[in-house]
Amino acid sequence: MAQESVNPAFGPGEQSSYRVRYLGITAGTAQVTVGAHMKQWGQDVWPIVAVARSNDMLGVWPIKDKFVSYWQPESQRVVGSDLHADENGSRRRQRIKMEPDGKTAFVVKQKEGESPRESTREVMEGTLDVTGATFALRNRELVVGQEYAYPVFTGSKQFTLRAKVEGREVLGTAMGDKEVFKLSVKTEFGGNLASKRDMFVYFTTDSSHVPVRVEAEFALGTIVAEITDYKPGRSMTVARAENGG
């Protein structure tokens, strides 16, 4: 049995806060928290909770969304997710449960006032959600010029998220200057979230690989998320068996 930290970048208790700008105007906030160990569908997981809220002062298209990705630290995968969306007065829920075979996803969608709709989708083995792909990438050794790919399922669409480390630079943040890796990220969202160009994500170059800035140009406009506060989580070493270990 070999002892290896398969989650060197983050652990329970980590919390990152962001200011979100839309078309250059502060439009809201986002907060991402790694929760304490729990059981979900009989699996040991860390819930990664992302909450996004629009600025009430704007008075347009109010948003209050909560997305929970159930991260399994031993396997570096997700066992499913829960979405609670409240956008412009329209509420909906979505639950994705990855089946034990790793190649099937059970999806439940429900709009407020309507009956839930259930479906089963075939997915690539090792499929993640966008949050899971981001956190899996954080755990990798990032190398300038290298590309990384993860299969992603959103509940409606499947695609391969591709990220390339374009270089290193120093970026000014609310927490001071940070040395960062600049990554270009290709996604295949549709509708208002269809990308006009690659997204850019900036991770700190230390072992935590904290996302400090995200730039995205969608069909609905340009969105930039900038970190405003960060609290590290507990360092967790997870044991996993290796051949010959």
The domain spans of the chain are 5-239
Listed residue (77, 18, 76, 23) closest to 50, CA to CA: 18
Q: Which residue in the block uniquely carries the two structure tokens 């989708």? A: 121
Whether the predicted model's global pTM rises above the 0.85 cut: yes
Domain 5-239 has CATH 2.50.20: yes
CB 236 within 8 A of CB 9: no
Q: What is the pLDDT of residue 217?
A: 87
Q: What is the pLDDT of residue 89?
A: 81
Cα-based angle 176, 231, 73 (whole degrees, multiple of 5): 125
Residues of the chain with pLDDT under 50: 1-4, 192, 239-245
Return the HEC string of 157-189: CEEEEEEEEEEEEEEEECCEEEEEEEEEEECCC
Listed residue (177, 197, 192, 185) closest to 159, CA to CA: 185
Q: What is the pLDDT of residue 87?
A: 83
Using alpha carbons, list the distances in angstroms from residue 95 to 132, 137, 142, 176, 242: 15, 23, 31, 38, 33
Q: How many CA atoms lie within 13 A of 13 on its CB side?
A: 6
Q: What is the pLDDT of residue 2?
A: 37
Listed residue (146, 148, 152, 144) closest to 168, CA to CA: 144
Q: Which residues are CB-neighbours of 21 under 8 A, at least 6 positions away?
A: 27, 223, 224, 225, 226
CB 32 within 8 A of CB 229: no
Identity of residue 83? L
Identity of residue 231? K
First to last CA, the chain: 5
Cα 61 from Cα 24, distance rounded (Å): 16
DSSP symbol at 37: P
Q: What is the pLDDT of residue 1?
A: 32
Q: What is the pLDDT of residue 222?
A: 87
Average pLDDT of the chain is 89
Cα 179 from Cα 172, distance rounded (Å): 9
Listed residue (129, 94, 91) closest to 108, CA to CA: 94
